[in-house]
């Protein structure tokens, strides 16, 4: 399973890097299946992935940010965010990824997840029950130490005012604009938590964004919960949205929620 | 002037990149001259710079984050942040820089400033009255369009609650943890503003952090003001701290302050 996901991610990486400098990554192509605007870079990456699935004749359905659900009469579904952090790519912030997960019908039964940082080339991978890895090296979350804490938060026009409380509750705070890689930072114990709290439901996270990184985080010993503190599951459905807290150490929940 | 600053920044870059992977970049060496903790990576970078100044027998005093003011009986002072974004370097967030400015006694009379992104190698440079450049290509700020705005904000334990209002006032918001590079993003028109508002005076910005990038921004057509809206000047003194708004388009001031 790993080989297939790696191959797809590699192809996305190759094709994105081959785009000419003059290419307008951010050109708006109108709304995708999930209703958010599609940029050229999203479309290029998704086309590569859909091309791969066909070419390798993979027995999977596909759920992707832009194209929606593609029924290929498969038993499993490849859940895809072709580019997580599109706006970073457009702005020149070197922090965006492709995110790929394989599962039956919802986040909780995802069997494998892979996230590739499209700038550094780092690959995060997890298979259910077999641990989480960065570039084939096992990763683990860290214990929470309030005196040396770092939280990542979602920030923007729609962030809930509680975000400020969370941001001020840690020694350092960042808002990096790429949920999948931010979750992986929690998984490898670089930071303590990632918090997303949007006031507007349609701006909260979709399953395509975090299906892969939620498995990586859980296999690294962390947890992801909704803002009521309950185990987060999301169906493979682009209409489903959720706020959440991803954390390395369960005690972060007491501090944040 | 450019050649000297470039040479120093290149040496910092070479020496940081030569550090072994096992090197604990974040090891705490106790407080520097400005009172904030010094990490190994700060010390390595500062030693390189001070070594360069001696070796090239530069006729400048030095003001640096860790070492403080070094009087070399010069007419001008090299104002140095050896590593801006130390915590990013330690966390593995690929966004930190070395910042070098040359001037007489305060920010307003800085004659040249150079910031080198220590991950990508990009170099931002400005000389007073001669424009601002990224990798020798002229850069300019952009016009503010509220429908497509991006603000960068300082976020953390000490950020003033007004930060949330600012963060929610733009379409996209990021908090990237490296003031000099965030200012350069404003200068090259990638984003509209960078806002820092700390409740605790000792956590606000120091002249070493922004002496170079303030010149780059101003030479690119932007402005940096204190939170009363006045032209920001800061003396070459580590005790001086300020909150500020850096913007590409002057009308951002009406929106933010």
First-residue to last-residue Cα distance in chain A:
36
**Starting at the edge strand that comes first in sequence, how are the strands of the sheet with B223-225 ordered?**
B172-174, B150-153, B193-196, B244-247, B223-225
Beta-carbon separation of B87 and A169 below 8 A: no
Chain A residues in contact with B94 (beta carbon < 8 A): 94-95, 119-120
Q: CB distance from B135 to chain A under 8 Å?
A: no
Chain A residues in contact with B174 (beta carbon < 8 A): 88, 93, 155, 175-177
Could you state, in order of their start, the residue ranges of all structural domains in chain B?
Answer: 2-138, 146-256
Q: Is pLDDT above 70 for A37?
A: no
**Two tokens at A114?**
């892979």
| Mean of pLDDT over chain B | 94
pLDDT at A22: 62
Q: Is pLDDT above 90 for B222?
A: yes
- Considering CB atoms only, which of A94, A156, A172 is closest to B87? A172
Q: What is the pTM of this model?
A: 0.94
Residue with tokens 């002037």: B1
Chain B residues in contact with A176 (beta carbon < 8 A): 93, 174-176
Residues of chain B with pLDDT > 70, as a percent, come to: 96
E-assigned strand segments in A58-96 = 60-64, 68-70, 76-84
Residues A132-191 pLDDT 10s: 999 999 999 999 999 999 999 999 999 999 999 999 999 999 999 999 999 999 999 999
Higher pLDDT, B210 or A34: B210
Beta-carbon separation of B172 and A156 below 8 A: yes
pLDDT at A92: 87
Beta-carbon separation of A91 and B171 below 8 A: no
Altogether, the residues listed in chain B come to a count of 257
CA closest to B182 among chain A residues: A93
Q: Among candidates A1, A3, A6, which has minimal Cα distance to A123?
A: A6
Q: CB distance from B159 to chain A under 8 Å?
A: yes
Binding-face residues of A in 187-206 toward B, CB within 8 A: 190-191
**Two tokens at B239?**
């005790």
Q: CB distance from A87 to chain B under 8 Å?
A: yes
pLDDT at B190: 95
Domain B2-138 has CATH 3.30.540.10: yes
Q: Is pLDDT above 80 for A38?
A: no
Mean pLDDT to the nearest integer, A35-39: 70
Minimum distance, in Å, between the CA of residue B104 and any CA atom of chain A:
33
* B130 Cβ neighbours under 8 A, 6+ residues apart: B219
Residue A34 pLDDT grade (very low, low, confident, very high; cuts 50, 70, 90): low
Chain A to chain B Cβ contacts (< 8 Å)? 98
**How far apart (Å, rounded) are the C-alpha atoms in residues A187 and A214?**
9
Mean pLDDT to the nearest integer, B185-195: 97
Residues A90-120 pLDDT 10s: 888 999 999 999 999 999 999 999 999 999 9
E-assigned strand segments in A120-236 = 123-127, 132-134, 137-138, 150-153, 172-174, 193-196, 205-206, 223-225
Mean pLDDT to the nearest integer, A214-241: 98
- DSSP conformation class of A243: -
pLDDT at A242: 98
CB B191, CB B209: distance < 8 Å: no
pLDDT at B22: 62
Mean pLDDT to the nearest integer, B240-255: 97
- Considering CB atoms only, which of B92, B119, B191 is closest to A91? B191
pLDDT at A149: 94
pLDDT at A35: 65
CB A117, CB A83: distance < 8 Å: no
| Mean of pLDDT over chain A | 94
pLDDT at A19: 86
pLDDT at A30: 72
Q: CB distance from B137 to chain A under 8 Å?
A: no
Mean pLDDT to the nearest integer, A197-217: 96
Q: Is pLDDT above 80 for A28?
A: no
Mean pLDDT to the nearest integer, B119-140: 97
Residue B35 pLDDT grade (very low, low, confident, very high; cuts 50, 70, 90): low
- Considering CB atoms only, which of B93, B164, B174 is closest to A161? B164
Query: Which sign does the torsion angle of CA B109, B140, B62, B25 carry?
Result: positive
Q: Is pLDDT above 70 for B255?
A: yes
The residues that bridge with A80 in the sheet, in sequence order, are: A64, A100
Q: What's chain B look like in SS3?
A: CHHHHHHHHHHHHHHHHCCCCCCCCCCEEEECCCCCEEEHHHHHHHHHHHHHHHHCCCCEEEEECCCEEECCCCCEEEEEEEEECHHHHHHCCCCCEEEEEEECCEHHHEEEEEEEECCCCCEEEEECCCCEEECCEECCCCCCCHHHCEEEECCECCECCHHHHHHCCCCEEEECCCHHHHHHHHHCCCCCEEEECECCHHHCEEHHHHHHHHHHHHHCCCEEECCCCCECCCECCCCCEECEEEECCCCHHHHHC
Residue with tokens 């965006």: A96
Beta-carbon separation of B173 and A159 below 8 A: yes
CA closest to A92 among chain B residues: B190
The residues that bridge with A81 in the sheet, in sequence order, are: A99
What is this model's ipTM? 0.92
Chain B residues in contact with A174 (beta carbon < 8 A): 88, 93, 155, 175-177
Q: CB distance from A135 to chain B under 8 Å?
A: no
Residue B23 pLDDT grade (very low, low, confident, very high; cuts 50, 70, 90): low
First-residue to last-residue Cα distance in chain B:
36
CATH of A146-256, one of 3.40.190.80, 3.30.930.10, 3.30.1330.60, 3.40.190.10: 3.40.190.80
Helix (H) or strand (E) holding A211: helix A207-219
Interface test with chain A among B122, B167, B188, B198, by most A beta carbons within 10 Å: B167
Altogether, the residues listed in chain A come to a count of 257
Mean pLDDT to the nearest integer, A199-206: 94
Mean pLDDT to the nearest integer, B195-220: 97
């Amino acid at each position: 399973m790993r080989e297939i996901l790696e191959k797809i991610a590699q192809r996305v990486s190759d094709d994105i890097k081959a785009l000419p400098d003059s290419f307008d990554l951010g050109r708006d192509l109108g709304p995708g299946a999930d209703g958010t605007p599609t940029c050229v870079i999203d479309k290029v990456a998704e086309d590569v992935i859909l091309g791969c699935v066909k070419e390798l004749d993979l027995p999977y359905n596909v759920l992707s940010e832009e194209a929606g659900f593609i029924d290929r009469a498969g038993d499993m579904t490849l859940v895809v965010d072709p580019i997580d952090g599109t706006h970073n790519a457009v702005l020149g912030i070197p922090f965006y990824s492709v995110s790929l997960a394989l599962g039956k019908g919802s986040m909780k039964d995802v069997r494998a997840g892979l996230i590739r940082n499209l700038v550094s080339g780092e690959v995060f991978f997890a298979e259910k029950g077999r641990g989480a890895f960065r570039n084939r090296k096992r990763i683990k979350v860290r214990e929470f130490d309030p005196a040396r804490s770092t939280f990542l938060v979602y920030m923007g026009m729609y962030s809930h005012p509680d975000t400020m409380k969370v941001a001020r509750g840690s020694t350092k705070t960042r808002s990096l604009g790429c949920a999948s890689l931010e979750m992986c930072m929690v998984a490898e114990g670089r930071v303590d938590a990632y918090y997303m709290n949007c006031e507007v439901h349609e701006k909260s996270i979709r399953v395509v964004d975090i299906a892969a990184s939620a498995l990586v985080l859980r296999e690294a010993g962390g947890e992801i919960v909704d803002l009521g503190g309950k185990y987060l599951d999301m169906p493979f459905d682009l209409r489903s949205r959720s706020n959440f807290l991803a954390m390395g150490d369960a005690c972060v929940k007491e501090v944040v929620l």
